[in-house]
Amino acid sequence: MARLGKNLIEIQKFSSAKQKVRLGGGRGIAIAIAIAIAKMVKGRQGERVRLYVRGSILGYKRSKSNQYPNTSLIQIEGVNSKEEVAYYCGKRMAYIYKAKVKKNGSHYRCIWGKVTRPHGNTGVVRAKFKSNLPPRSMTHFYALAGSKGQSLHVS
């Protein structure tokens, strides 16, 4: 139930919870109603769903004497065969790391990449990143997005 008063809106959920929102003007009414309703909506129910898969960076693609830092080898958690890699081919991934200096209000930075193909028969994938992964990344984890168009949210 919503009642409009003199520059005041009162939204009542059931009969116990009341919230009052001060209104500024014509366009502010719709925004204030949306904010008040959003505050009263109950939070997420049930188990949290993770939209990414973790994995570890093994190193760069290499031959006996050369290494090719433009292609990284990554072992995805739970992927153990060439057939399982097919699902991840073309998916975007992110190497997320923490830096000392804040940029854009955050200490966290991200290098985006894409799974290109399998590497061998044991579930390792080859991936190309926008800029080559730094050598210190070999001991860290990365996050892999769930689908081609899906954005990655890591908390």
For the record, the structure tokens of 77 come out as: 């958690």
Look at residue 39 in the predicted model and tell me its pLDDT. 60
CA distance 142 to 73: 12
Pairing of strands 124-129, 67-76: antiparallel
Q: Give me the domain span that covers residue 59.
A: 52-145
Give the pLDDT confidence of 34-93 residue by residue, as tens digits. Answer: 666 656 666 667 787 777 888 889 999 999 999 999 999 999 989 999 999 999 999 999
Is there a single domain that holds both residue 80 and residue 114?
yes
Q: Is 150 helix (H, G, I), strand (E, B) or coil?
A: coil
Both tokens assigned to 85:
């890699």
Residue 80 covered by a domain? yes
> CATH code at 137?
2.40.10.190
Q: What percentage of the chain carries pLDDT values higher than 70?
A: 61
The pLDDT value recorded for residue 47 is 80
Give the end-to-end CA distance of the chain in Å, rounded to a whole number. Answer: 35
